[in-house]
A and B are shown apart, each in its own frame.
Chain A
Amino acid sequence: MAATALKRIGLVLGLPVILFAVWYVATDNSQSFYVPPLRTILSVFDDTWTGQRLRADVLPSALRLLAGYALATVLGVGLGVVIGSYRRVRAVAEPVLEFFRAIPPPVLVPVIMLFAGIGDGMKVIVIVSGCVWPILLNTVEGVRAVDGVLADTARSYRITGPARLRHLLLRSASPQIMAGMRQALSIAIILMVISEMFAASNGLGFTIVQFQRSFAIPEMWTGIILLGLLGFVLSALFRFAENRVLAWYHGLRSAQRKS
């Protein structure tokens, strides 16, 4: 048991450790102003990301990210269930959805700023406007793919309304919904940073741009590393949640493969 756990940790951490080592060695003698040695970057990390700065910049970013992501999930799943359930609604909505999905969300930032100002609301709206599409479209697919026999079974036992939504539609579509949410998570991080680069007075994106503009290059690099770490932690948390929510699905799939 302990040996296999060690092996797994080794597999997970192996490549990142190697990459960092390469970075460290390759930049060790770097004279470039813009690519300082990793040694220098790491040495300023502690002084740059103090508790005070984590509270003042990282926390607001994280809160915007979570608010936007949660809102996008509620919106995407809600609309997705409606669109997926009714053929007429789908026929009307699908072309429009494809159009909006094709617009790169960063383009919308200046437009959204006109309506929503430059406060937290704007940033949350930017994140929602980008995250909602993969969740929405995957939910539509998931709801459409509900098994006919299972739907008949639910109907014959008079499982309708909220019970049908909860026990049949959402659970049956959950593998697709989770796939959409995973895509949306990386989009959310990107949009969080971008929205803070446009107009903000705090946040991770804002801080990184500030460092760059004031030629604090090693500090700028630490911001980028922190951003990477944040993404890594969030995706690990997501995977943990996914494994719990979709335990039945993975079990079902492996049972089907065996037979």
Chain B
Amino acid sequence: MLEVRGLNKVYEGHQRRVEAVRDLTFTIDAGDLVCLVGPSGCGKTTLLKCIAGLLAPTAGEVLLDGRPVTGPPRGMAVVFQEYGRSLFPWMSVRDNVALPLKQKRVAKARRRELVDEALAAVGLAGTESAYPWQLSGGMQQRVAIARAVAYEPEVLLMDEPFAAVDAQTRADLEDLVRALWKRLGVTILFVTHDIDEAVYLGQQVIMLSASPTVVQERLAIDLPAERDQLHTRADARFTHLRTHVYEQIQAAKRGTRTDAAVASVAE
């Protein structure tokens, strides 16, 4: 279980003090797929870095299975938005996926197995010896996902992973994430600014307010577990939920909470 309690992050600069995150509290149960949406510039990346142990919060804490996160915890993997900058360009695809495992002291035979499985799972079997920059953007992000999957994390953090890929690739990758989630039973926290993506992917959607950030609303997505791009997105319930989230985000930008919208979703 992942808990965020009273998280606050203030950046101190030259005569400038920016409160990126004011006060965030939420929990994510083991095995959940939760999407975080919020208006751009609301501190989503700051929050994610705090959870990943890459950034120390100013106040509050993050707990993973009851233990406070003070540095990058074991059993957590992060997929960044900038796939081109998160893969090691001097390593082949295989070495990129294998390096964290080597660091984890996974035995060589098992390492090979995990790498092969992960690459096959993201549809990249056969590209092992290529360098990342020889692949398309979508394929590079698949490598980053394969690396995270091979690592066998309990919690997978994804920071707007598909923001920089084209729309069709994006749809494929969304389905890939849901398929992997169902197969591996991993907890996923998926940060995005795309409302449709959040509703399509998540079991839960946490909406954040504009900066300084608090939780605007938490919404359970009661769509069937079997989702596909064609039918789910045409579903009336999907449209209803996305409209609600959209209204909340708009309200967040204005700095208010529309209770009318809350009422409408409860109907």
Contact = CB atoms under 8 A, between A and B. Distances in A.
Interface of A: 147, 149-150, 152-153, 155-159, 163, 167-168, 171-172, 174, 248-249, 251-252, 255-256
B265 interface: no
Contacts of A155: 54, 72
Contacts, number: 67
A20 to B, nearest CB: 41
A157 B100 contact: yes
Interface of B: 49, 52-54, 72, 74, 76-78, 80, 82, 85-91, 99-100, 102-104, 131, 133-134, 147, 151
B98 to A, nearest CB: 11
B133 A157 contact: no
Contacts of B151: 157
Nearest to B74: A158
B158 to A, nearest CB: 12
A159 B86 CA distance: 13
Contacts of A159: 99-100, 103
B85 A149 contact: yes
A239 to B, nearest CB: 19
Contact of B86 (A150, A167, A249, A252): A150
Given A158-B72, A158-B74, A163-B103, A153 B131 contact: no
A252 B151 CA distance: 26
A252 B54 CA distance: 27
Residue of B52, B82, B87 with most chain A CB atoms under a 10 A cut-off: B82
A167 to B, nearest CB: 6
Contacts of A147: 85
Given A157-B151, A167-B99, A252 B85 contact: no
Contacts of B89: 248-249, 252
A251 B88 contact: no
Given A157-B103, A157-B147, A255-B134, 11 more contacts: A149-B80, A149-B86, A152-B54, A155-B54, A156-B53, A157-B151, A158-B104, A167-B91, A172-B90, A249-B89, A252-B89
